[in-house]
Structure 1
């Protein structure tokens, strides 16, 4: 990257009526000359702090007003519609006072001073590979307003600007750090959640990726005890979780305390809840994509350039990263001691729960750049949970190992992924019952992006996925095993066509063939984006989606994990079709309302067809226990639809930040067993969510801190929503039975209609009362869960052990003032 910047700090120029002070910012002049971008190629430049974006061309000057600060993040990309392969982001850290300086910034940092003033020298800062530039400042004549308003101005005379300040004071630019960071692009239909935002939100002791997604409008969390997500009326298995393009099945830990992914190893989260492009498939509702972060510092080479230790109420985590030569890496691990802490809480009278539970996570990324056009990336994730609750034993876990290769040649980008994934789970009840699943996935993916046609980005891809899926059930001496080995071929193409500066039309087609179901599936996708002006956007999405690997719906109760089963052919020769969905959605976005607020309004309608339901119609006999037994022989189907709208208002910067969103929706299913339509267990008619933070002290705070990087802030998360559907019990009666020649009274509970009842409304406030520390050095936080101690219903039942039977309910999280977290970076 070559940038030619001149920062004109807002100040009153001596003897001149014009002043940059009135502009409340710092004028930045730049030029992009990078071999990653073709000469004359159109580029987008975005200032992350303000969200301001402008267009430029390789080799031509551009200018933008930066906010008054000492640090800015500038991202340059060749397209706002393709992937992040041709995007470079720079973090500029400027320590100085009112000044004008000029420098050449390369991929490794400030390489030289373009010009020197009459006073000062150019040298190397102590302990830093970047340079120190000294330039005169005070009496520089600022550019006039006509230059400010003309982004095509090309005649920026840097030497003249510097020479004009030769009789002014000397100001030192102590450090410029340039970091090549891959920031998830804001593509149509996509929400981006940064790692920084995840860390600032109140959590159950530590930052949580999935909990941050649950705060978005249109996303439902069924209970406190789960990190599953339900998106726009879809089931939990309809969400595609990708870690560096490797699928991760059912990424949950027990009790909803933690999601599986470690924030230190990821570069943020890309989340599609509508209109995801043709590259992603085999799911109906959403795509949650996490990219492994390139570790280490860009400006220094060290084996352990940055490490950290984190200790929270229920878990401990270690992380380290480095950068040597062309190699960079990051690795993190986590384990829990929740069983011991619950014992302590029980002894203190805070909780009355005793379980033997533990989990471990290990996650990391290794990246090697052969040159600026060729990159190899190896990532891994493994996690395991073990829960013993006598006489119940449960374990489950995930493994994901993706290898990604990228190469650019001419107008083409070539990408390839080889991925291995495993998901397993076991549930044992003493030695009598053992039910479980073992699912292996081997995937090969490759795709090409072509930019050789003006205003078009073409994408072509092919995927081959092989699954080995075993479901087993051992009950006493009976053994049932069902092993399926589907092979899934996918061919897709997409064109992102910028009709003009205001319109972007993306259309694509995804072709599927899955051998077990003998199904050839076609998935058309399209989106249309209208940029009404610089701040207003209208987006429309439509598409047909298929899912060949579905979870089995055993009932209305939420299972700990999903049991995945592919579309197959039954023993009677019936081809099971994949689950299907048609989606129509529209969104209106307006940025920088009153220069601070971002507003989004969206509406959607979605159909759902061929959802697998389990209806056992055979007894467990030797015939059903044979090797020929297929679970698919007992499948029914369910059809349904969902619709709703969402409103969101956010403020991402400033001393007070956060957002509020409101959603209303309707979800209905109907099984083919002759029963009447019902609300699925994840149906949530309305939800109000709020998250807010206050920077008390520090950068961008109510009051600055005298120590650089120090901060003190607080944050709060609130949710108020309708209770989830439940099948209520209407009452009970005594039934007399003769057992061993004696009459006994047996209590029979009368069930109501399926999901016709509803839990009491849900309300919870979590407060991160103390969030104090120093950036990239240390942090201490104290979080209070369920501040108001509101009793949110989880489950209701009749306690038939009492006479007369008593109607009771189990609540979700109580008041928990014990969530603390300490982090230290070294």
Structure 2
């Protein structure tokens, strides 16, 4: 029964899209058989002999019965030999330039590959010791060693933690991979497992890590848009298709903690949310936490997205410049001395010089049903102009081998303006309306490493956000000015201590001061309301981490104590994360946490700030807006074997202290002020298959998300973010210089409320049915992307990319609302998602 329901959900209203993708996936399946083939080992040798003009010398009885899955895509013979070593457990020695001898290892000889936990790269030159026998790893991190029964293997290398590997972890049929932890991050106790595509990994605390140095392509994107990428994961959606309204496990967007190099950001998007405001060229890695957050973090009752720049000093200047259909951008990473380097990235829209069809599509999307698009009949809007920019800077200075200083700076800006003109008393009058959204933030990070297992850190940041609108009413000769300003300062002191190879401790103190100002100013008749609020918070946190020597058990236990001065309120928040490897293929994972936050975004009126960015930040006041508090628990299991990954996680989340104004009501209860809570019961599922140059995945999210508002006539009803079912089907193909990616997205319609049929308006007021008793039509989208490296030289690379968003031009209604017209009849409005949108990029990299 369940399978029939799921199949119906997957294919409802999507037949054309599936047919469109069918040919692509057939090609995928065909190519899977071409690039990775199961062949007898003698046949593999013959193919390599022809390709590389070499000769294998071997005893027939050693290999005659062996058959392996072998990739046909190698750049060098050494890469081919490395794959053979890992899959056959045979010894391959080169004699001269063209002869390779093949022989068996002894019964007590074992092999393996040593990899860096943080990057996945080979660790070369490491010392491997077993009893009286020792060896070192080669350029691939590969080693062989004779091991006596029950004798452990000790691995040591400069800049890495020493690791002891028991004999039971070595495989007899092939070579195992082993991870070692850099001493600079040893206390973080990280273990990576590839999750979705290359560069998108799951780590031992249940969070997801994205490393853009290794990242491949995702459907519909021409570059690594940080916030778009997160929506490929189960449990993360955007009900209005923007990056500024990301919903993590049914929470509103303002319940997400967004960090850029540990600086809290209150603005996340360009084009008022359609693309990420964080330049992907300077953002190297991202951590996404849905539960089990580290005790050092506050805020984010739904989840945390932490972005980081590269934390290493470069010795060689490199960078790139690029242009796409929306913007031009540049990035440079250059040494500023032997022990310091500077990264700078900048981006600016092309609209000041050129308006492309892609720009027009985006502009039409953000201006739907706003004063920018539709004004009163007697008013003409003209000279609409929009632009955006961002600049990011990161400077690192290694003061000494034990001291490091890092400075960060980021500026983000969006600007929209247009003229309103009307004929008044036979005279043309024109007034300008304007909307700007800007952020400026800076941070200082100093780290002192007392020893390989002890380090102290001081982090300071200042972040400022300003949303300003000037709405001109040319008919009334009136100017309406609105401002929303956030200013936040924070200092965090922390110390990390590693007791031994199994236990570590993190502890510290954080102070945060947040100020929010809201201004409403009308010049005629004169009205001015300015409200400024400040909340100061102190916190102590501690977190203990345990990791077994075999890396089969990882446990993190944290506690955070918060004291909010304004309300004299104390909050104790436990954080727990457990990962237990049950077998070589099966892993159990559990997380739990309690969190709170003092800020939220509310909507007073739908036409605030020209109706485009109508949300304004507010601080908790203990009366109309309480401190938001959350509790969440999750339990999951993952199975990974032979390129397959199946990951299933069930969760329950409860959030108290939400307000109706922060939940984006657009129909019934649009103007209600009420305090309530919501709870979510859900399941996140990921099925992924990697085979050669292909990766395919199916992600599915289910949730039952319910509001509880005691002061409203209807106390319990579905949440505005109750996306009951969400499905993503995707595949990527990467070979040599070419990358291709295609995907299909489907989700249940968003809850909504329609007027009563036959009696929609009563006494000049809309007569609504039960709140959220209906849903919009289901959402469906097909995307495609391609990237090709045209030129590759020692110090230069030229890349071309193209993307198609919503290939089938599906008309998706993502929001609706109603108004009573002048003749006391019902007027209906809807907002549609992006139609077919083409983008392209050309990028030149200087290496």
**Is residue 820 of structure 1 aligned with residue 840 of structure 2?**
yes
Say if 2:512 and 2:537, in contact at 8 Å, map to a contact too.
Answer: yes
**Is residue 187 of structure 1 aligned with residue 204 of structure 2?**
yes
After the TM superposition, which residues 591-602 of structure 1 pair with which residues of structure 2 at under 5 Å, given as runs? Answer: 591=640, 593=641, 595-602=642-649
Q: What corresponds to 1:381 in structure 2?
A: 410
**Is residue 449 of structure 1 aligned with residue 518 of structure 2?**
no
**459, 467, 485: which one pairs with 2:534?**
485
Q: What corresponds to 1:366 in structure 2?
A: 395
Partners of 1:665 and 1:261 in 2: CA distance:
30
SS of 1:777's equivalent? strand
Say if 2:659 and 2:674, in contact at 8 Å, map to a contact too.
Answer: yes
* Residues 339, 648 of structure 1: alpha-carbon distance in 2 compared, 3 angstrom cutoff: farther
* Residues 339, 209 of structure 1: alpha-carbon distance in 2 compared, 3 angstrom cutoff: same
Q: What corresponds to 2:803 in structure 1?
A: 783
* Residues 569, 668 of structure 1: alpha-carbon distance in 2 compared, 3 angstrom cutoff: closer
Give the superposition deviation at 1:506. Answer: 1.9
Give the superposition deviation at 1:403. Answer: 1.1
Partners of 1:347 and 1:15 in 2: CA distance:
68
Q: What corresponds to 2:699 in structure 1?
A: 661
Say if 2:454 and 2:497, in contact at 8 Å, map to a contact too.
Answer: yes
Partners of 2:560 and 2:480 in 1: CA distance:
42
Quote the RMSD (CA, aligned, Å): 4.1
**Is residue 582 of structure 1 aligned with residue 631 of structure 2?**
yes
* Residues 369, 196 of structure 1: alpha-carbon distance in 2 compared, 3 angstrom cutoff: closer
Say if 1:519 and 1:577, in contact at 8 Å, map to a contact too.
Answer: no
Structure with the bigger RCO (C-alpha within 8 Å, sep 6+) is: 2
Q: Deviations over 1:106-165 (max 9, x none)?
A: 9xxxxxxx99xxxxxxxxxxxxxxxx99xxxxxxxx968x75998935799xxxxxxxxx
SS of 1:290's equivalent? strand
Partners of 1:659 and 1:349 in 2: CA distance:
29
**Is residue 333 of structure 1 aligned with residue 346 of structure 2?**
yes
Q: Deviations over 1:481-502 (max 9, x none)?
A: 1111221101011111346744
Q: What corresponds to 2:425 in structure 1?
A: none
SS of 2:718's equivalent? coil
Say if 1:796 and 1:809, in contact at 8 Å, map to a contact too.
Answer: yes
Q: What corresponds to 1:281 in structure 2?
A: 298
* Residues 192, 417 of structure 1: alpha-carbon distance in 2 compared, 3 angstrom cutoff: same
Q: What corresponds to 1:679 in structure 2?
A: 718
* Residues 480, 143 of structure 1: alpha-carbon distance in 2 compared, 3 angstrom cutoff: closer
SS of 2:229's equivalent? helix
**244, 262, 283: which one pairs with 1:266?**
283
Q: What corresponds to 1:318 in structure 2?
A: 330
Give the superposition deviation at 1:405. Answer: 1.3
**Is residue 523 of structure 1 aligned with residue 561 of structure 2?**
no
Q: Alignment length, in residue pairs?
A: 655
* Residues 195, 454 of structure 1: alpha-carbon distance in 2 compared, 3 angstrom cutoff: closer
Partners of 1:730 and 1:226 in 2: CA distance:
34
Q: Which runs of 5+ in 1 are unaligned?
A: 1-8, 27-46, 51-61, 67-72, 77-86, 93-102, 107-113, 116-131, 134-141, 157-178, 616-633, 699-710, 737-745
Q: What corresponds to 2:464 in structure 1?
A: 422
Q: Deviations over 1:62-97 (max 9, x none)?
A: 97545xxxxxx9315xxxxxxxxxx687568xxxxx
Say if 1:222 and 1:228, in contact at 8 Å, map to a contact too.
Answer: yes
Q: What corresponds to 2:669 in structure 1?
A: none
Partners of 1:262 and 1:765 in 2: CA distance:
25
Partners of 2:803 and 2:836 in 1: CA distance:
11
Q: What corresponds to 1:434 in structure 2?
A: 481
Q: Which runs of 5+ in 2 are unaligned?
A: 1-44, 49-54, 72-82, 87-108, 128-134, 157-181, 192-202, 368-372, 374-383, 421-432, 473-477, 663-671
Q: Deviations over 1:614-644 (max 9, x none)?
A: 59xxxxxxxxxxxxxxxxxx96411111111
TM-score, normalising length from structure 2?
0.69
* Residues 17, 447 of structure 1: alpha-carbon distance in 2 compared, 3 angstrom cutoff: farther
Give the superposition deviation at 1:448. Answer: 1.0
Give the superposition deviation at 1:15. Answer: 6.4
Say if 1:426 and 1:436, in contact at 8 Å, map to a contact too.
Answer: yes
Give the superposition deviation at 1:549. Answer: 2.2
Give the superposition deviation at 1:604. Answer: 0.4
Q: What corresponds to 1:70 in structure 2?
A: none
Give the superposition deviation at 1:388. Answer: 2.3
Partners of 1:807 and 1:418 in 2: CA distance:
49
Partners of 1:648 and 1:679 in 2: CA distance:
25
Give the superposition deviation at 1:455. Answer: 2.2
Partners of 2:797 and 2:691 in 1: CA distance:
22
Q: Deviations over 1:270-310 (max 9, x none)?
A: 1101111211122211111111114774xxx44xx112111
* Residues 373, 568 of structure 1: alpha-carbon distance in 2 compared, 3 angstrom cutoff: same
SS of 1:212's equivalent? helix
* Residues 546, 398 of structure 1: alpha-carbon distance in 2 compared, 3 angstrom cutoff: same
**Is residue 650 of structure 1 aligned with residue 688 of structure 2?**
yes
Q: What corresponds to 1:152 in structure 2?
A: 152
* Residues 16, 374 of structure 1: alpha-carbon distance in 2 compared, 3 angstrom cutoff: farther
Partners of 2:349 and 2:519 in 1: CA distance:
29
Partners of 1:442 and 1:500 in 2: CA distance:
40
Say if 1:660 and 1:690, in contact at 8 Å, map to a contact too.
Answer: yes
Q: What corresponds to 1:540 in structure 2?
A: 590
**As a proportion of its length, which structure holds more helix?**
2
* Residues 361, 796 of structure 1: alpha-carbon distance in 2 compared, 3 angstrom cutoff: same
Partners of 2:419 and 2:538 in 1: CA distance:
44
